[in-house]
Structure 1
């Protein structure tokens, strides 16, 4: 006779197999890679999480948790293409990672027509900073941290003279993006980034929760519920503007049609 643990295990296996057959190969792969389906259709919100190291052109080491940018980019494009999705909730707990991949995702998010609210949990370090400010509105939980430092090659400040100009230009692009998409002053941001009094044998600063808000980097300290409420508010505004734009467009069409008819009448119906 089977004991309770064996029965429980068999039931769990049956449950897993029966549910697995409900998904196609593409959906199963997406579930395995992302840990969730992220269809976002019931609430109208697409949740995207960026966890661990941001993986770009080179694969991250196997012991590390990573988020692949080739998975995130199609999800963001889906948001723009699907009418069922009204907005994005971007959850961040990242150590940073591939600079170009992180900046590419940030640019894509900032260029969306639909609203996006970002929420920093745990931390959003290095290239995670542009990601945190890329949305329409940003939140950070009280205990989360953000490490701001210059671009590095192998964990330390730039040390290769031949690469200096390239890294300098890349750093300027990141700084400009952060300043443009937040309320932080450029001079203050550079000062915090080049601080030599806080990190051992390195440059940079660590901001905790409220500190990121005080300098204008993040909009507000808040929780998941705060982020969701703000997103629903922005979606409402977006939908209102969308309807208004449609009405104005229809009104313009009617006006053009009316003036065209009047012109015909003036010309004797020709």
Structure 2
């Protein structure tokens, strides 16, 4: 029986550019070594391996060294995204979330996740943008299955609303006004609404 283990350094060495590099993978692993997590794609179930587990490991490694999350996403799967939100909300290590270009849909909800955690700071750049909207869902199946899915979706939307109201300066009046719209915001608006703490 063979036991195969690789250190992060060995992984980095194995994917170092030799010709035409896969620079995305290279940069991702290189940044992990520096306690930086890069989320630069649509949110999917792969976020468990690419962000959630690394973040849990860094938070529990006993060093207490700060962690940075670089966020640039058009959104995606809310169930996978909220798994990352749940971890950030409880994190014990200092974390800075950087909105690099766009935090749309689920991405903006991730950006809000540290609002009540004093260990988390969220920053953006002057030309960063955010998007808040109700999202979309495709349903198929029997009439009962579609109804059950629709009912659960309504319940989940209520939970998301509660989350937004408690993790930003968005109040009930503004939420009702923007709920069914594509609500785009620039850096100043994100700061005003308490989504980011600082524009850098």
For normalisation by structure 2, the TM-score amounts to 0.74
1:209-266: per-residue Cα shift (whole Å, max 9, x none)?
Answer: 11111233322222xxxxxxxxxxxxxxxxxxxxxxxxxxxxxxxxxxxxxxxxxxxx
The structure with the larger Rg is 1
For residues 187 and 27 of structure 1, do their structure 2 counterparts lie closer, same or farther at Cα, with a shift above 3 Å needed? farther
Equivalent residue number for residue 65 of structure 2: 86
Q: CA deviation at 1:28?
A: 4.7
Unaligned runs of 5+ in 1: 1-21, 41-45, 57-66, 155-159, 195-202, 223-270
1:177-216: per-residue Cα shift (whole Å, max 9, x none)?
Answer: 233233332432342232xxxxxxxx32111111111233
Equivalent residue number for residue 116 of structure 1: 95
Pairs within 5 Å for 1:123-202: 123-135=102-114, 136-153=120-137, 162=147, 163-194=149-180
Say whether the 8 Å CA contact 1:151–1:171 is kept in structure 2: no
Say whether the 8 Å CA contact 1:185–1:216 is kept in structure 2: no
Say which of 45, 55, 71 aligns to 2:44.
55
In 2, Cα distance between equivalents of 1:33 and 1:175: 38
In 2, Cα distance between equivalents of 1:150 and 1:220: 26
Unaligned runs of 5+ in 2: 1-7, 16-23, 115-119, 139-144
For normalisation by structure 1, the TM-score amounts to 0.56
For residues 83 and 207 of structure 1, do their structure 2 counterparts lie closer, same or farther at Cα, with a shift above 3 Å needed? same
For residues 219 and 193 of structure 1, do their structure 2 counterparts lie closer, same or farther at Cα, with a shift above 3 Å needed? farther
Q: Is residue 2:198 matched to residue 1:204?
A: no
Q: CA deviation at 1:23?
A: 4.8
Equivalent residue number for residue 68 of structure 1: 47
SS in 1 for 2:178: helix
Q: CA deviation at 1:94?
A: 0.3
Say whether the 8 Å CA contact 1:118–1:133 is kept in structure 2: no
RMSD value, Cα: 3.0
What is the number of residues matched between the two proteins? Answer: 174
